[in-house]
Amino acid sequence: MSSPCFVSQVATKEILIRVTQVCAECYSELQEGDMIHYDMQQYRYLCDCCQQKLESMMDESCQIIQEEAEPSLFC
């Protein structure tokens, strides 16, 4: 899972203390040990599910080329 649009890392206690502890897209709680993804275009942390959905709608330049059919707060 290597993408120039996201920086992926395991959530540590130190990271979660410094940033919001919820996914910026679906608001699910991020836990220590979860894989989290920093969205380089929107400057926010995302859970695995939201990162995968967003990445599938992006081109190689990290631009959204396909809008989600029905926006949802749930993955």
Question: Looking at the domain assignment, is residue 37 inside a domain?
Answer: yes
pLDDT at residue 65, rounded to an integer:
86
Kindly report the backbone phi and psi dihedral angles of residue 54, in degrees, each rounded to the nearest multiple of 5, phi listed first. Answer: -65, -40
Eight-state DSSP code of residue 28: P
The boundaries of the domain holding residue 35 are: 6-56
Question: Looking at the domain assignment, is residue 68 inside a domain?
Answer: no
Question: Looking at the domain assignment, is residue 51 inside a domain?
Answer: yes
pLDDT, one tens digit per residue, over 3-12 is: 789 999 999 9
Rounded Cα gap, residues 71 and 37, in angstroms: 20
Question: Looking at the domain assignment, is residue 70 inside a domain?
Answer: no
Question: Looking at the domain assignment, is residue 75 inside a domain?
Answer: no
Find the radius of gyration of the CA atoms of the chain.
12
pLDDT, one tens digit per residue, over 29-43 is: 999 999 999 999 999
Question: Looking at the domain assignment, is residue 33 inside a domain?
Answer: yes
Report the number of distinct structural domains present in the chain: 1
Query: 8 to each of 16, 30, 45, how far by Cα in Å?
Result: 14, 13, 9
**DSSP H or E segment with residue 51:** helix 48-56
Asked if 48 and 56 count as a contact pair (C-beta separation under 8 A), the reply is no
